[in-house]
Amino acid sequence: MLPRDERADIGGIGGTVAANVLSFAAMRATLAEVLTDDAFERMIDLGERFETGVAGAIERHGLPWHVTRLGCRVEYLFRPERPRNGSEAAAGSDAQLDRLIHLYALNRGILLTPFHNMALMSPATTEADVDLHTKVFDQAAGELADGLV
């Protein structure tokens, strides 16, 4: 048997017993009632708004970073070039800056995806949520560019 710390489900869906009637009913309801075409259209619009806000802050403060969006998923990396593969993305990461941005945002009411600087717009995301992130990201970028943090 595997040691206890190696038995964690890394599939992200609950493991073998997740394929039960309740899970399938929840999945069906989510796809039919929540993740609709209209919801995705709104989420993609919010993703574009998020991307525009981050790109504006990066440009305004002259930082060698970039932002990438795919539909309603937006991520920023602290490197000038866009990585072409996972190895390049990993090689260009900055663990200290990642932690700083995450804590900076968290202390101002924003929780980013814990394993990188990614935001996924959801049906519950609002323009106010996106605008708050833009404001906080712009503040952080300005403080970093000025050497204040």
Q: Give the tens place of pLDDT for each residue, 139-148.
A: 999 999 998 6
More confident position, 70 or 18: 70
Q: Which CATH number fits the domain that encloses residue 66? A: 3.90.1150.10
- Nearest-angstrom CA–CA distance, 92 and 77: 8
| Residue 11 within any structural domain of the chain | no
More confident position, 30 or 12: 30
- Contact partners, residue 64, CB within 8 Å, separation at least 6: 78, 79, 80
| Residue 62 within any structural domain of the chain | yes
Where in the sequence is the domain holding 115, given as residue range(s)? 35-145
- Contact partners, residue 30, CB within 8 Å, separation at least 6: none
DSSP class of residue 147 equals: T
Q: Give the tens place of pLDDT for each residue, 49-69.
A: 999 999 999 999 999 999 999
pTM for this structure? 0.80
DSSP H helical ranges for the chain: 21-29, 37-60, 86-91, 95-106, 127-145
Q: Give the tens place of pLDDT for each residue, 86-107.
A: 888 888 788 899 999 999 999 9
| Cβ–Cβ < 8 Å for 121, 75 | no
Q: How many domains does the chain contain in total?
A: 1
